[in-house]
């Protein structure tokens, strides 16, 4: 008998151990895959209306448990209670949205000579979902809901640091009547459980959200097995502010576009590009907005930003702001226990400074001026990433030109919104591959089968 691999789950706002979770090893992963493989044979044959009903019951169970799920995320991930409630509601909405899919998974009837030609959207089989620690609930839900709706069975591997809400979602699915083995939550190490999803022949698809570095390894491993993969990776998104914008609104909202979730957001607008003619005016408006961000106890309803996820992550974030860094201004952060880091604005910043080129994944933003529209687009696109971004202007033509020119999957004009469960989400360039959410997500969990039926006598 090998010793169980026990992992202490820590509250990042207090540094206290909340609970201990047993991490699965290779044998547990293989056993989970075998259960999921067996469950697939029955789940795919559940009548569409019954699969839809079960998913609606699952969504209702999540809805009834929202406060509990939110409290778990406040404790486990240090998310503000406001954000955590939104995340639990988002998980419910995504499951409910895809509950409509089993009855609408249409194929096509294609005109051919000598018979009838129809297509079927067939499920893939067992889907392995690897989730990061920054948004444990929504990211699990974005994959598991369309995958289950399309008739696949799913194993979710939460991040080591944040397994609690995923485990709860698994319990709620069972309570709602989703059969055993159809959705399993398996806490474990990425290099063990996550890696086994890549190599196990019965896992037919991997959905990975996390760092670009690990995403490349997963893609290489899946390539060797011709296994489809969806990747949602890092970002270094630009918030582009033109001189004709509503500067007061652009400056008041810019902190929340990057400091939300303490900057641990793949869509964080961590580069602010400001037209040179209004740069100083913008900075003067930005300063009080940044100093006004309420950082503190995430359970307090008024708090706008909580701690970072871990001491190691805080050290990594801090490494981008050495003593010699040009800190324009800073917000506040509590003293004492907890992995706190204050909202930090860097300016002026060189375009080759790692703080301007690399994903920091913390509450650090760099502001740089640009000359004109062409210069703004050039700077925005001078990155290997392409996930999201914002464009602030009152000129509709410019808003559309720049939206088409910026190489990113999710843009917002005069807003910082990136995510709606009804619209597609995903990255350009090294920010990812494939799209989640919206009507397109089902394509990622089905394959098209063509059947020709002869009408010849």
* Closest distance of CB 155 from ligand NAD, Å: 12
Q: Confirm or reject binding of residue 160 to ligand NAD (CB under 6 A).
A: yes
Q: Which SS3 state, helix, strand or coil, does residue 288 take?
A: helix
Q: Which residue, 240, 324, 229, is CA-closest to 279?
A: 240
Q: Cβ–Cβ contacts within 10 Å for residue 395, how many?
A: 13
Q: How far is CA 210 from the centre of its chain?
A: 8
* Closest distance of CB 161 from ligand NAD, Å: 7
Please report, as residue ranges, which positions from 367 to 386 form the binding site for ligand NAD (by CB under 6 A): none
Phi/psi of residue 274, nearest 5 degrees: -125, 135
* Closest distance of CB 19 from ligand NAD, Å: 18
Site string for ligand NAD, 36-75 (x = CB under 6 A): ----------------------------------------
Q: How far apart are CA 96 and CA 265, in angstroms?
A: 24
Q: Residues 102, 123, 235, 389: which binds ligand NAD (CB under 6 A)? A: 235
Sheet holding 344-346, edge to edge: 327-330, 344-346, 364-370, 271-275, 238-241, 388-392, 410-413
Site string for ligand NAD, 192-221 (x = CB under 6 A): --xx-------------xxx--x--xx---
Q: Confirm or reject binding of residue 159 to ligand NAD (CB under 6 A).
A: yes
* Closest distance of CB 423 from ligand NAD, Å: 14
Nearer to ligand NAD, 137 or 289 (CB): 137
Find out whether 251 and 243 touch, Cβ atoms under 8 Å.
no
Q: Cβ–Cβ contacts within 10 Å for residue 17, how many?
A: 10
Structure tokens at 73: 């995320």
Q: What is the DSSP string of 201-219?
A: TTEEEEEEES-HHHHHHHH
Handedness of CA 269, 360, 85, 188 (dihedral sign): positive
Q: Confirm or reject binding of residue 91 to ligand NAD (CB under 6 A).
A: no
Query: Which helix (H) or strand (E) segment is 197 a member of?
Result: helix 195-199
Please report, as residue ranges, which positions from 162 to 181 form the binding site for ligand NAD (by CB under 6 A): none
Question: Which of these segments, 153-161, 271-279, 323-331, 343-351, binds ligand NAD (CB under 6 A)?
Answer: 153-161
* Closest distance of CB 142 from ligand NAD, Å: 8
For ligand NAD, the nearest residue by Cβ is 190
Find out whether 261 and 83 touch, Cβ atoms under 8 Å.
yes
Unique residue bearing structure tokens 């720049």: 402
Nearer to ligand NAD, 134 or 184 (CB): 134
Q: Confirm or reject binding of residue 137 to ligand NAD (CB under 6 A).
A: no
> What number of chain residues touch ligand NAD (CB under 6 A)?
31
- Active site (annotated) includes residue 232: yes
Nearer to ligand NAD, 11 or 121 (CB): 11
Q: Which residue, 369, 403, 383, 408, is CA-closest to 242?
A: 369
Q: Confirm or reject binding of residue 134 to ligand NAD (CB under 6 A).
A: yes
* Closest distance of CB 9 from ligand NAD, Å: 14
* Closest distance of CB 252 from ligand NAD, Å: 25
- Active site (annotated) includes residue 374: no
Q: How far apart are CA 56 and CA 206, in angstroms?
A: 25
Please report, as residue ranges, which positions from 380 to 419 form the binding site for ligand NAD (by CB under 6 A): 387
Q: What angle do CA 11, 93, 12 make, to 5 degrees?
A: 10
Q: Confirm or reject binding of residue 190 to ligand NAD (CB under 6 A).
A: yes
Please report, as residue ranges, which positions from 329 to 368 form the binding site for ligand NAD (by CB under 6 A): 359, 361
Compute CA distances 93 → 82, 137, 265, whole Å.
17, 12, 20
Q: Confirm or reject binding of residue 184 to ligand NAD (CB under 6 A).
A: no
Eight-state DSSP code of residue 231: E
Q: Confirm or reject binding of residue 76 to ligand NAD (CB under 6 A).
A: no
Burial class (CB in 10 A: 0-12, 13-18, 19+), 118: middle
Q: How far apart are CA 364 and CA 341, in angstroms?
A: 9
* Closest distance of CB 388 from ligand NAD, Å: 9
**Catalytic site residues?**
232, 266
Which residue ranges make up the site for ligand NAD (CB under 6 A)? 130-135, 139, 157, 159-160, 190-191, 194-195, 209-211, 214, 217-218, 232-235, 266, 359, 361, 387, 427, 431-432
């Amino acid at each position: 008998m090998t010793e169980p691999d026990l992992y202490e789950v820590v509250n990042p706002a207090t540094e206290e151990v909340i609970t201990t979770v047993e991490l699965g090893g290779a044998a547990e992963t293989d056993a989970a895959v075998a259960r999921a493989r067996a469950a697939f044979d029955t789940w795919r044959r559940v009548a569409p209306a019954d699969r839809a009903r079960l998913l609606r019951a699952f969504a209702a169970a999540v809805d009834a448990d929202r406060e509990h799920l939110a409290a778990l995320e406040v404790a486990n991930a240090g998310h503000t209670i406001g954000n955590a409630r939104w995340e639990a509601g988002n998980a419910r909405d995504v499951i409910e949205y895809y509950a409509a899919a089993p009855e609408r998974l249409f194929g096509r009837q294609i005109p051919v000579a000598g018979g009838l030609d129809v297509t079927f959207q067939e499920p893939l089989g067992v889907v392995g979902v690897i989730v990061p620690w920054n948004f444990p609930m929504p990211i699990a839900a974005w994959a598991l809901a369309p995958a289950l709706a399309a008739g696949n069975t799913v194993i979710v591997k939460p991040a080591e640091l944040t397994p609690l809400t995923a485990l709860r979602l698994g319990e709620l699915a069972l309570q709602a009547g989703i059969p055993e083995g159809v959705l399993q939550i398996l806490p474990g190490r990425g290099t063990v459980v996550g890696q086994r999803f890549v190599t196990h022949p019965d896992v037919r698809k991997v959905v990975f959200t996390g760092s670009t570095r690990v995403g490349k390894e997963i893609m290489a491993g899946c390539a060797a097995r011709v296994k489809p993969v969806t990747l949602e990776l890092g970002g270094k998104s630009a918030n582009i502010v033109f001189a004709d914008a509503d500067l007061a609104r652009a400056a008041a909202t810019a902190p929340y576009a990057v400091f939300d979730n303490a900057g641990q957001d793949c869509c964080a607008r961590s580069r602010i590009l400001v037209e040179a003619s209004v740069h100083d005016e913008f900075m003067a408006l930005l300063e009080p907005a940044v100093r006004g961000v309420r950082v503190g106890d995430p359970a307090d309803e008024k708090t706008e930003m909580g701690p970072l996820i871990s001491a190691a992550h805080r050290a990594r974030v801090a490494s981008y702001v050495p003593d010699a860094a040009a800190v324009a201004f800073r917000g506040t952060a509590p003293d004492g226990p907890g992995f706190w880091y204050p909202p930090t604005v860097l300016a002026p910043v060189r375009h080759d400074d790692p703080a301007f080129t690399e994903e920091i994944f913390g509450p650090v933003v760099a502001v740089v001026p640009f000359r004109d529209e062409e210069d703004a687009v050039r700077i925005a696109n001078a990155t290997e990433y392409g996930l999201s971004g914002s464009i602030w202007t009152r000129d509709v033509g410019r808003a559309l030109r720049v939206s088409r020119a910026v190489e990113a999957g999710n843009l917002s004009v005069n807003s910082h919104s990136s995510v709606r469960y009804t619209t597609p989400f995903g990255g350009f360039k090294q920010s990812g591959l494939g799209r989640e959410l919206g009507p397109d997500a089902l394509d990622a969990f089905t394959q098209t089968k063509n059947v020709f039926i002869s009408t010849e006598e």
